[in-house]
Each structure stands twice: as C-alpha cells, then as structure tokens.
Amino acid sequence: MQQNMIVIIDLGSENTTRIARDIRALGVYSEIHPHDLTAEQLAALPNVRGFVFAKGPNRAYEGQIVEPSAALTDAGLPILTTEEVPTTEELKPFIFETCRAEANWNMENFISDQVELIRRQVGDRKVLLALSGGVDSSVVAAMLIRAIGKQLTCVHVNHGLLRKGEPEQVVNVFGKELGANLVYVDATDRFLDKLADVADPEQKRKIIGAEFIRVFEEEARKLDGIAFLGQGTIYPDIIESGTKTAKCVKSHHNVGGLPEDLQFELVEPLKMLFKDEVRACGVALGLPEAMVYRQPFPGPGLGVRCLGAITRDRLEALRDSDAILREEFDKAGLRGKVWQYFTAIPDIRSVGVRDGARAFEWPCIIRAVNTVDAMTATVERLPWELMEQICDRITREVPGINRVLVDITPKPTGTIEWE
C-alpha cells in the first residue's frame, strides 16, 4: 500500500468531514473512524501515522461521555486533540513533523492501492455491476475493469428514460473502448408499458424503481457464479450527516430491494472518496470528461420530467428539447457553471400558430438551478438572448412544442424536479 494515513477519531465533533478534507488537501490521506476502534480494526488500517481526536458538543452517547478506546491511546502513535477545525498552520507541523507522514495521497496511488485491494478481495471470482452511466457507477466500472478485467460483468438497463445519447455512450465507452463484458438491456417497452396511463408522481417513481430491480435481477440470474456486487457508494453516503453520537460511521447499506436469495458480497472501491475526488479518479482512469463531469440526473430519469402520464411522443419531445438545451448551455459556456438544467413537459396543450395554421401543442419548461446540497436551490438568471435562442430552436426543431416557458421558482417552494 502506498498511502500514509491520518485517522480522525470522531468524539462528537461536527467538523470531522472538514478536517478530513483539509488533511487530504495537504496531500495526506485521511479517514474518519469511530471512537471505539478495536486493536484488530486498527491493525487492518494500512499505514496509519497518527490520530486526530476530534472532540465536540455531541460527545455524550447514551448519557456517557465518549472516550477513545484503549487500542487508540495505547497505539503509540502521535495524537492531536482538538475541539475546533485545526488551521493549516496547526495541521502541517503535526502531520509532517510529528507524524512524519508523506504527502503521497494522489489519484495514481489511490488507484493502484484500490486495484490491489480489489484483486485481494475478489481473487478469481466474478463481480456484477449495475452500470447506470452516472458518475459513480461509471467510475466504479472503470476501476473494476482496471483491477479485474473480464471477471467483471456490467449490466446497463436502458429504461427508455435516459437522456439523448446516453445509452450509446455507455456502450461505446465501456463495451468498445474499455472492452468490458457489457450486457445491454433495452427495456424501454417494458417500462413504458408499465407506466402507461400512470399520472401520479409517486406511483411513477415506485414503478420505475421496482421494475429496475426486476430487470437487473433477471439479468443477474442468467449469469453464472457471480460472488460480488460492485457498488458506487461514496464517502458522504457513509459518514452520518450531523454526528449525533461518536458512532459516526454508518453500517453499509445493502443494495436496495434485491431479493434475499441473491446474495452478494459488496465491492465498493469509492467508499472513501468525496464527490470531487470520484470525478478526479474517473479522469485518471481515462473516462471522458463529459461522463465524469455530467450534472446530476435522477434515478427515474426523464420519467419525472415528462409530467403526468408518460406518452412516447411527449417523451421524445422531452429528450430532444433537453438535448437542445444542453447544447445551447455548452455553447454559452455555462456547462459546469450552472449546477443543474433541464426541460420538463407538462401534459397540457395550448393553441398556437405554425406555418399559418392552428397548432395545438405542448409547452416546454426550462429549469436551471444552483445549489450546494440540493436541499435548497436558487434559480440561474439566464441571459435573455440565450433564452430566445433556446425558444427559437426548440419550437422550430422539436415536433409538438409551440411554446417555451422559464421556471423562476427557487426551492422552496419548488423542488428542483417537477415530480
């Protein structure tokens, strides 16, 4: 193993994540662990050079003040005890002089360590991965291909609700360029048949989620001898938000909804990375930037943007209008600057005029928002010329759309998605 590590021990601090990020920013790998690490658990952590005991206001757990375990205090390693976020000036001498840690945390070392760990965990057995094409699953796929090549099988379920060009990109990048074992399942008809006439947003989400598991499960059963399931779990999924107690690290969540007789061990090579590190890892593994820096996209996909009961013609209009919107944002230099932007098409029509004749068609809604944590969001103030250009292209190029509207509602009261 390449990287030295500083372990942050959570003693009720609200700042553990911040401290971990600050230490990583100094080029030294850092992980957060609970106060009650055993000697055995500690021994399993590679290259630990020192501890930060992060005390805080939530130090009481079930009425008792939490103390670091004997395994930690007796380890003979340097300890920095703090109730605040240590400044860089405090961290540097501790990390580099007292702990004598090397600044060797970088993507190349991370990847080579993970490749070694994955090979050790998997041996000559086989791994299955649900490859959605999203950032996390794509980076996991690239990492597993690097580590175990053809022992990995990726299953890409196209539910028909992906953005324009996305299934093709998955097939090209993973199936062709990276030479993965890729099972591509076009389940569009199956999903759209199940969703026909269903207008209730929650109902739609449930159908899409359940059907997804069913298709994936069917494909998994067709494969022989799979022992592991790859998962795109990332560090924020693991760190409990707001350390209520010193037990900061959640038990791992299992893959939601898979039936119990399909039992796999998990391989989670990104579980210690923050989102920006996941992207950097993807780039280092050779994934295209457009895939790694893509904006968030909901699991139910375009299904929650084709409002009300989904029809194929309105879904196509949605996909085309979304592609035009993204193209125009790219041209205007807004990619990566606006957090999320998309179109939605409601199930209503209005009277308009096209080529001198009455046109009874749908409106297309533009939504562009900025947020830090998706809990609240503000609306991007789009240049008027850009809105005109988008309106012009969508009404001319997308069959069935005669008006373009802009959603100027922050969250709250709107949510980011419409359904």
Encoded amino acid at 223, one letter: L
* Stretch touching ligand XMP by CB under 6 A, among 115-123, 225-233, 293-301, 395-403: 293-301
Cα–Cα distance between 149 and 142 in angstroms, integer?
A: 9
Cα–Cα distance between 204 and 303 in angstroms, integer?
A: 8
**Nearest to 110, CA basis, from 358, 322, 279:** 279
> CB-wise, 53 or 418, nearer to ligand XMP?
418
DSSP, residue by residue, 258-282: --TTS--EEE-TTTT--HHHHHHHH
> CB-wise, 42 or 302, nearer to ligand XMP?
302
One of 123, 149, 286, 296 touching ligand XMP (CB under 6 A): 296
Give 288's contacts (C-beta < 8 A, 6+ positions apart): 169, 173
Interaction mask 345-384, ligand XMP, x per CB under 6 A: -----------------------------x----------
- Binding status of residue 298 toward ligand XMP by CB under 6 A: yes
**How are the residues of the chain apportioned to helix, strand and coil, as percentages rounded to the nearest 5?**
40, 20, 40
> CB-wise, 23 or 302, nearer to ligand XMP?
302
DSSP-derived letter for residue 97 is: I
Q: What is the nearest approach in angstroms of ligand XMP to the Cβ of residue 299?
A: 4
- Binding status of residue 12 toward ligand XMP by CB under 6 A: no
Interaction mask 379-418, ligand XMP, x per CB under 6 A: --------------------------------x---xxx-
- Binding status of residue 340 toward ligand XMP by CB under 6 A: yes
> CB-wise, 62 or 373, nearer to ligand XMP?
373
Strand (E) or helix (H) holding 302: none
* Stretch touching ligand XMP by CB under 6 A, among 9-17, 37-45, 211-219, 298-306: 298-306
Which is it for strands 48-55 and 350-354: parallel, antiparallel or unpaired? Answer: unpaired
- Binding status of residue 149 toward ligand XMP by CB under 6 A: no
DSSP, residue by residue, 102-139: -----HHHHHHHHHHHHHHHHTT-EEEEE--SSHHHHH
The vertex-373 CA angle with 370 and 378, nearest 5°, equals 25
- Binding status of residue 233 toward ligand XMP by CB under 6 A: no
> CB-wise, 113 or 417, nearer to ligand XMP?
417
Q: Which strands sit side by side in the sheet containing 79-82, from one edge to the other?
A: 29-34, 5-11, 48-55, 79-82
> CB-wise, 100 or 337, nearer to ligand XMP?
337
Give 336's contacts (C-beta < 8 A, 6+ positions apart): 293
> CB-wise, 351 or 374, nearer to ligand XMP?
374
- Binding status of residue 123 toward ligand XMP by CB under 6 A: no
* Stretch touching ligand XMP by CB under 6 A, among 108-116, 267-275, 297-305, 310-318: 297-305
Residues lying near ligand XMP in the complex (CB under 6 A) are found at: 296, 298-300, 340, 374, 411, 415-417
